[in-house]
Amino acid sequence: MLGRARSLGRRVLGVRRTPTYYLPWLVRPGLECVLVVNNVESRFKTGFNRGPFAVAVVQYDARGAVVGRHNVELDDPTATAEVRLDAEGSNAGFATVAGARIFSDQYVTLSDGTAYTATHGRHEFVERYPRVLRILLGLAGALAAAAGRTLPLFVKDQYLYLGAGVRSHLLVMNLSNVANRVRVVVTGERGVRVERVMKLRPMGSHLLDVSRLGIVAAEATLVVRARLEANAWFNLYVVGAGRNDLEGPLSFMHVK
């Protein structure tokens, strides 16, 4: 019922959802981020199993600016191509992957040169709001932000893990063409509560460093609850960090 009402609301307001496949990217000193492009899952799908396949990767940085365009071609469904994702002066964001006959999950890898961790992207959508709605959302968002709030049109809950040698950070991605104010409420042990409001530019991202939230990590791994509310469509990836935190090897993981 709620889903139908939201769908009707989007139609009335002129909000468009563009199907989009996206993955996160992140670079740090000594850490390489490589996208593994493939079409292997389409191998037995009629119309999708004969190459070549053209693939277009568009890389957005944390400010939402396009910082890279990578066009690759796969000769056949079992071919892979590796695309290094980095950008001058920028260290995180997301990349979209598109191709008329690409029908497979793509992988993003993070490597310290010795080994790599990997996860896959998500086939979802980007929401595009008409100009008037963008202005209204901007005004309402600014008012709400003054009170430390946002318009909670989209909400996600996520557990985070903090310990002496582990952290799970969050890469929060604004999948819309409107400025997105994301309010994060983290509840730790004994009800300790930390709140932040982040403003993400259209198609921008923010690496939320949980070490800076003021929740003290104990020797044993602490599970804390994060709730994220936003005024426009967004999603997140968990960034796993070990003993050297964001200066060491990292892992990415999608959530639902």
Partner 1 sequence: MSSDRCALLSATFWEAGYEHLIETVHQRDALARRNLDGLEIAVHDPGGALLGEKSVDPRQEVLDLGALVEEIAGGAPRAMVTLEARYDERVFPYRPHHYAFLHRPGSDAPPLYYAVNAVLGGVPDRIGATTINNFETYVFRQRPFAARYAVLLGNLARFAAAEAQVATYYGGQRVLVEVALAPKSHREIDLPSERDGRRLERVEVKALFRLASYVVGRRADSGDLVLFDHLFTYIK
Report the interface residues with partner 1, using CB under 8 A: 3, 34, 36, 38, 40-41, 43-45, 78, 80, 82, 103-105, 107, 109, 111, 114-120, 155-159, 161, 163, 165-166, 168, 187, 221, 223, 225, 227, 238, 240-244, 248-251, 253, 255-256
Amino acid at residue number 224: V
Q: Residue 69 CB, nearest distance to partner 1 (Å)?
A: 22
Q: Whose Cβ is closer to partner 1: residue 137's or residue 160's?
A: 160
Q: What is the smallest separation between the CB atom of 90 and partner 1, expressed in angstroms?
A: 22
Of 149 and 158, the one with the shorter C-beta distance to partner 1 is: 158
SS3 (DSSP) at 254: strand
Least CB distance from residue 27 to partner 1, whole Å? 15
CA 37 to chain centre: 18
Q: Could you give the CA distance from residue 229 to residue 156 in angstroms, rounded to a whole number?
A: 7
Reduce the DSSP state of residue 56 to 3 states and report it.
strand
55 CB neighbour count, 10 Å cutoff: 23
127 DSSP β-pair partners? 17, 176
Smallest separation, CB 71 to partner 1 (Å): 19
Give whole-number Cα distances, 18 to 175, 177, 206, in Å: 10, 11, 22
Single-letter residue type at 225: R
Q: What is the smallest separation between the CB atom of 173 and partner 1, expressed in angstroms? A: 16
DSSP 173-218: EE-BSS-EEEEEEEE-GGG-EEEEEEEE-TT-EEEE-GGGG-PPP-
For residues 109-146, b (16+ Cβ closer than 10 Å) or e, as one string?
A: bbbeeeebeebbbbeebbbbbeeeebeebeeebeebbe
* 153 class by beta-carbon count within 10 Å (0-12 exposed, 13-18 middle, 19+ buried): middle
Shortest CB 102 distance to partner 1, Å: 12
Nearer of residues 114 and 147 to partner 1, judged by Cβ: 114
| Closer Cβ to partner 1, 179 or 213, answer by number | 213
> With respect to partner 1, which residue has the nearer C-beta, 125 or 140?
125
Nearer to partner 1, 211 or 221 (CB): 221
Q: 90 or 109, CB closer to partner 1? A: 109
**CB 236 → partner 1: shortest distance, Å?**
10
